[in-house]
Structures are given as C-alpha cells and as structure tokens.
Amino acid sequence: MQAKRVTFPRSLTPYLLLAPQLAITLVFFIWPAGQAVVSSLFAEDAFGLSRAFVGLANFAALLRDPTYLNAFQVTAVFSASVTVLAMVLALGLALAADRIGKRAGPYRVLLVWPYAVAPAVAGILWWFMFNPTIGILARALDAIGISWNHFLNGEQALTMVILAAAWKQVSYNFLFFLAGLQAIPASLMEAAALDGAGPVRRFRFVVWPLLAPTSFFLLVVNLTYAFFDTFGIIHATTGGGPGQATTILVYKVFRDGFGGLDLGGSAAQSVVLLAIVIALTAVQFRHIERRVQY
C-alpha cells in the first residue's frame, strides 16, 4: 500500500489522526474477536466460575450436534435459493431495461428503492402477506387448493423467508447488472447482429462472457448478504421455527449465545462463521485484483 509521493514532514499528527479509528477497531472489533477465538478453546460453566482448556473439543462437539448440522443444511438451501432467485430476477429485469435504453429511467426509479427497506421490515411485509388467516397470498394459495401455514409447515416457512430475502436484494443486483450491460460497447452487439446472431446467441456469446466479472462479484456479495444480513428477517418473523426449519447459522449463534448456556460451544460457532467471512472476503479481493489488471 503506497502513500502519496509528496508527504507532510514527520510528526505526531498521523498517530492522532488514526487514534479514533484504531481505538474503536481494537476495543470493539479485534479484542472481542480474539475473545471469541480464545473461549472457543475452553469449556466454561455458565456462571464463569471455572474454565478448562479443551483444545478443539468444542468444534468436535459442534460437528456431532445434529441441530448444528441441520443449521448448516438450512443455511446452504437458504443462501443458494436467495442468491439464485435474486440474481436471475435481477438479470432478467436488467436485460429488459437495457433493451429499452433511455426510456427505462422511470422503471429504474421504481425498482431500486427496496434496497432501503430493512431486512426485518421486508420480513414483516412478507409474513403479513402469507399470514394463514388474513394474508392475501395465503388466501390465494388456499383458493387453488394449497393449504398454507408457515407456523406449522417448515418448508413453507423457509420458502417465505427466502422470498422476503430475495425480494429485498433484487434491486441491488439490478443496478449492478444494468451498469454492467450498459458498459458493453454497442459496436460489439452490432457486429454480432450483422453476423446473423439472434438475441439468444448474442446473449450467450457476447453479453454473458462480458458480464461474468459482474456476476461473480454479485455472487459473493449475495452469499455474504444471505449468510449474515438476513438475521433480521428470521428473527422478526419465524424465530428460526417451526422446529429448526429456518434456523440459519447466524440465528443459531445468537440464540445459543444468549439463550443457551454453552459459552464455549457458542464461541466455536462464532469462529466457524469467522472462517466463512474470511473466505468470502479473500475470494472477493482476489477477484478485484484480477479485475484491476485488465
């Protein structure tokens, strides 16, 4: 990481300038994260009276815990569905908006605002539409013979939170896909059209390859969103239920940490999540370096 070529003379100033940011980083980020790693290696009783080093036993216990493995599975289904749904819908809308060109302005305005809706609020909106007695979607489903009750049916509950999470994320993906599409030179498309390529072939052989970096970037961002930012959707609506049907990893860490009394186990869960974030961030940064090169 370079500095500017011309810099100010040496003094205490830079340390003072950095002090607020570093103080907050150390106190509220690095120290607690260190604590999580340390306590994941210890077994502690609920009152903090005794503590014993157990090595990786907490992690081993997690891998044997069926509810934890279940949370992993739910997270996988949830994140994959949210990501695919939000990206495919957004790509479709972006292609449509790109097709009509300048006149797409009003559509853009009407499509981007859900970005501003908090995940928890998005969850409440969908929860209301699916309410088994008064929700409009639940009643519509009832009319075509599907009995909807997400309070009892785990698959339906999971479907509901997936829809709410994807609904909120479409606008973000739409903006990035549209920007990606608009960056494709018109001459390329014209050349392909002159060569007799129809819309489908133009998409397959010109648009899609040029859009790949954007898609990859969005893939990582969407996975991160589905893993971490959707806590509010789950907490405000299903509370992880019915049973464990909508308990994703982030929700489980929260519930086990504050409700349960197994501090070591909860810390081990945090460390697993930490590893996931580090992996996602690393992938994202390597990708950006690649993009900068050409």
Partner 1 sequence: MAGSGRLLSLLAHLALILGVVVMVLPVYLAFIASTHSGGDFLSGRVGLLPGSLFLENYRTALFTGSSTQGFPPVGPMLLNSFIMAMAIALGKIAISLLSAFAVCYFRFPLRQTAFWLIFITLMLPVEVRILPTFQVVADLSLLNSYGGLTLPLIASATATFLFRQVFMTIPDELTEAALIDGAGPLRFFWHVLLPLSRTNIAALFVILFIYGWNQYLWPLLVTTDTRYYTIVMGIQRLAAAAVEADPVWHLVMATAILAMLPPILVIALMQNLFVRGLTETEK
List phi, psi (to 5°) of 283: -60, -45
CB 148, min distance to partner 1, A: 16
Q: Are 277 and 33 in contact (CB under 8 A)?
A: no
The reply on whether position 62 binds partner 1 by CB under 8 A is no
Q: Which of 43, 86, 97, 211 binds partner 1 (CB under 8 A)?
A: 97
Residue 3 in contact with partner 1, rule: CB under 8 A: yes
Q: Cα–Cα distance between 167 and 158 in angstroms, integer?
A: 14
Amino acid at 182: Q
Residue number, 158 or 222, with CB nearest to partner 1: 222
- How far apart are CB 121 and partner 1 at their closest, in Å? 5
Of 122-161, binders to partner 1 (CB under 8 A) are 122, 124-129, 133-134, 136
Q: Which stretch binds partner 1 (CB under 8 A): 58-66, 154-162, 183-191, 253-261?
A: 253-261
Residue entry with tokens 């891998």: 63
Q: Which of 80, 120, 184, 210 binds partner 1 (CB under 8 A)?
A: 120
For the chain, helix, strand, coil in percent to 5 are: 75, 0, 25
- Among 46, 47, 49, 113, which residue sits at the site for partner 1 (rule: CB under 8 A)? 113
The DSSP H or E segment spanning 214 is: helix 208-224
Q: Does 278 bind partner 1 (CB under 8 A)?
A: yes
Tokens describing residue 98: 């790109």
Q: Does residue 173 come out as left (phi exceeding 0), alpha (psi in the -120 to 50 range) or beta? A: alpha
Q: Compute how many residues bind partner 1; rule: CB under 8 A.
A: 94
Piece in contact with partner 1 (CB under 8 A), picked from 33-41, 54-62, 71-79, 203-211: 33-41
Q: Could you tell me if 78 and 248 are in contact, meaning their C-beta atoms sit under 8 angstroms apart? A: yes
- Per rule CB under 8 A, is residue 207 in the interface with partner 1? no
Pairing of strands 51-53, 42-44: antiparallel
Residues 220-249 that bind partner 1 (CB under 8 A): 221, 228, 231-232, 235-237
Decide: is 187 part of the binding site for partner 1 (CB under 8 A).
no
